[in-house]
């Protein structure tokens, strides 16, 4: 099997799902279309796509790296540590922060998928409510 056909199947899967998938989820999706493919082939193809900057890989706190297509433009995420809700923020929200760091440190940032962990507004309210009840 040609590596390029596996890469093509991965790109199609990621663009169809339009979300973050683990390598196992990508593999399971692709196996339906390319029955001869094995998990390590998929994993290596994913790694190549990450190196090419076509796909991002992140740890979103689930203890499994997730992959996502980057053609939708640079974006970042806020991940709630309590309910695991994932919010997406545009790159413009962090651009000035990136610029300041780059200037100050003469450092060129290549991170294209930033994950910030915290507590979402729902969970903050729940904490306040449970305090009020006591
Ligand atoms: Zn993302
Ligand atoms: Zn939450």
> At 21, which CATH number?
1.10.10.10
Q: Domain containing 116 — which CATH number? A: 3.30.1490.190
**Of 48, 71, 94, which residue sits at a domain end?**
71
pLDDT, one tens digit per residue, over 11-23 is: 999 988 767 899 9
End-to-end alpha-carbon separation of the chain, Å?
Answer: 63
Q: Indicate if the pLDDT at residue 132 is higher than 70.
A: no
C-alpha distances in angstroms, 125 versus 35, 64, 130, 133? 48, 29, 9, 12
How far apart CA 121 and CA 94 sit, in angstroms, is 20
Q: What is the pTM of this model?
A: 0.73
Residues 47 and 6 in one domain: yes
Q: Which ligand ends up closest to the CA of 112?
A: 1
Q: By the 8 A CB rule, do 115 and 89 touch?
A: no
Question: If you measure from the C-alpha of residue 111 to the centroid of ligand 1, how many angstroms do you get, rounded to a whole number?
Answer: 12
Query: How does pLDDT run across 98-119, given as a tens digit for each residue?
Result: 999 999 999 998 888 899 999 9
Q: How many structural domains are present in the chain?
A: 2
What's the CA-to-centroid distance between 126 and ligand 1, angstroms? Answer: 26
Q: Which domain holds residue 41?
A: 1-71
CA distances from 76 to 6, 23, 58, 79, 131 (A): 27, 20, 10, 10, 32
């Amino acid at each position: 099997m040609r590596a390029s056909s596996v890469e093509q199947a991965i790109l199609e899967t990621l663009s169809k799902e339009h979300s973050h998938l683990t390598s196992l989820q990508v593999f399971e999706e692709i196996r339906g279309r390319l029955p001869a493919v094995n998990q390590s082939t998929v994993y290596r193809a994913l790694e190549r796509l990450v190196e090419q900057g076509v796909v991002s890989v992140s740890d979103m706190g689930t203890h499994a790296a997730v992959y996502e297509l980057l053609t939708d433009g640079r974006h970042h995420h806020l991940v709630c540590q309590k309910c695991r809700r994932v919010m997406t923020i545009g790159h413009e929200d962090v651009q000035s922060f990136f610029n300041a760091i780059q200037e100050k440190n003469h450092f060129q940032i290549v991170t294209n998928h930033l994950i910030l962990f915290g507590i979402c507004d729902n969970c903050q309210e729940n904490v306040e409510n449970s305090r009020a009840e006591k």
